[in-house]
């Protein structure tokens, strides 16, 4: 029996050693096609701090912090329509069109004289998209106000986030884990520039010229024809497993942007829809993907826009962020 035990232990150890050896073997690297312009842009962003993989990403700020610091060296830029701005805005804020921001930053203000520059939009998603682009250009003191003007004033919230949240598509959620496609190639940028900085500037210029009309996409559009889009769930694994948009593939936060092996698995020939719990983080991701040539959109209101009731019921268990009256302040607006 002693010999049998020793023999069994030896076999078990040999099996464990073999498994350990296999786990230490490097995985076969996927060959991803990256053109020279894309590589130069990736290198330039890394050399300048790799913002998307830093602790500062995503750069969101609460309405309460903005309110408490209005008398300090901050600058609030409201990028809503002139009509909405006229109906009521934050005291001291300036109203600027998204398309005019590059010129405004370069010629009309000295950005780094301010401690913080706050970008404000209707729901906080377009401002998050804008903040990402400005951060990547090099303005490291820009922040997006979380939840947008809906977090500032109840009347605005009633027409915005509180009106947009819904559990309409909870019965259509998918719980299947979908595998990412094989990484093949990143889009071609075709700027005809020869340095990472020039390529970045050309891409920023184009994105600001395009405006924000195609930045957001509704849950109705996506659930109406999910096969039309490549849907990215940008959230934790446990949240993804509890239910996601049909066909959605999960990409890990902090392990996607800037990594060729990950970005290369995102199809360059389909409209990409990115979503998270609130639509704020996904708006940052959308800006980055659009910078690299993807036709990317962020899902308006995130999970709040299609599985709101489920988020409320599972708020404690899964740390969901359903927008509620608790997120709304009663701060003054001026006209």
Q: Which pLDDT does position 29 carry in this prediction?
A: 52
What are the structural domain ranges in the chain? 36-165, 170-312
Q: Which residue has the tokens 């350990």?
A: 20
Q: Which of 303, 279, 290 has the alpha carbon at shortest distance from 121?
A: 279
Q: Which pLDDT does position 24 carry in this prediction?
A: 37
Q: Which of 274, 319, 63, 299 has the alpha carbon at shortest distance from 166?
A: 299
- Beta-carbon contacts of residue 313 (< 8 Å; ≥ 6 apart): none
Examine domains 36-165 and 170-312 and report if their fold is the same: yes
Q: Which residue has the tokens 């719980």?
A: 175
Q: Which fold has domain 36-165?
A: Oxidized Rhodanese; domain 1 (3.40.250)
Name the CATH superfamily for 170-312: Rhodanese-like domain (3.40.250.10)
Give 33's strand partners: 185
Q: Which pLDDT does position 31 carry in this prediction?
A: 76
Q: Which pLDDT does position 33 carry in this prediction?
A: 83
3-state SS, residue 25: coil
Q: Which pLDDT does position 30 carry in this prediction?
A: 62
The rounded distance, in Å, linking the Cα atoms of 230 and 192 is 28
- Beta-carbon contacts of residue 271 (< 8 Å; ≥ 6 apart): 228, 229, 230, 295, 296, 297
Handedness of CA 244, 249, 255, 257 (dihedral sign): negative
Give the predicted TM-score (pTM) of the model: 0.89
pLDDT < 50 positions in the chain? 1-28
Cβ-in-10-Å burial (0-12, 13-18, 19+) of 254 comes to exposed
Q: Which pLDDT does position 32 carry in this prediction?
A: 83
The rounded distance, in Å, linking the Cα atoms of 270 and 20 is 40
What radius of gyration, in Å, describes the C-alpha atoms of the chain?
23
Q: Which pLDDT does position 20 carry in this prediction?
A: 38
- Beta-carbon contacts of residue 327 (< 8 Å; ≥ 6 apart): 147, 150, 151, 161
């Amino acid at each position: 029996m002693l010999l049998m035990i020793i023999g069994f232990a030896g076999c078990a150890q040999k099996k464990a050693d073999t498994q350990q050896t296999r786990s230490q073997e490097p995985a076969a690297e996927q060959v991803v096609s990256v053109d020279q312009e894309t590589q130069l842009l990736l290198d330039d962003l890394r050399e300048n701090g790799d913002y998307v993989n830093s602790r500062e990403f995503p750069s969101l700020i609460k309405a309460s912090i903005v309110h408490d610091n209005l008398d300090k060296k901050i600058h609030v830029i409201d990028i809503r329509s002139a009509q909405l701005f006229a109906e009521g805005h934050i005291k001291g804020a300036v109203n600027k069109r998204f398309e005019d921001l590059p010129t405004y930053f370069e010629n009309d203000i000295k950005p780094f004289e301010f401690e913080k520059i706050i970008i404000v939009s209707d729901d906080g998603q377009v401002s998050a998209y804008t903040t990402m682009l400005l951060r990547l250009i090099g303005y490291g003191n820009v922040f997006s106000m979380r939840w947008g003007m809906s977090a500032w004033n109840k009347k605005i919230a009633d027409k915005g986030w509180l009106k947009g949240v819904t559990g309409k598509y909870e019965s259509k959620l998918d719980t299947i884990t979908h595998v990412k496609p094989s990484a093949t190639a990143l889009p071609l940028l075709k700027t005809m520039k020869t340095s990472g900085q020039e390529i970045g500037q050309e891409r920023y210029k184009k994105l600001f010229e395009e405006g924000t009309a195609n930045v957001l996409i509704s849950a109705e559009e996506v659930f109406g024809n999910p096969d039309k889009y490549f849907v990215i769930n940008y959230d934790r694994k446990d949240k993804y497993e509890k239910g996601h948009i049909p066909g959605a593939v999960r990409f890990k936060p902090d392990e996607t942007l800037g990594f060729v092996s990950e970005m290369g698995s995102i199809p360059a020939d389909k409209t990409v829809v990115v979503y998270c719990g609130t639509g704020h983080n996904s708006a940052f991701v959308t800006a980055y993907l659009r910078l690299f040539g993807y036709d990317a959109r962020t899902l308006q209101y995130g999970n709040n826009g299609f599985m709101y009731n489920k988020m409320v019921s599972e708020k404690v268990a899964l740390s969901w962020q359903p927008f509620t009256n608790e997120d709304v302040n009663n701060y003054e607006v001026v006209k």
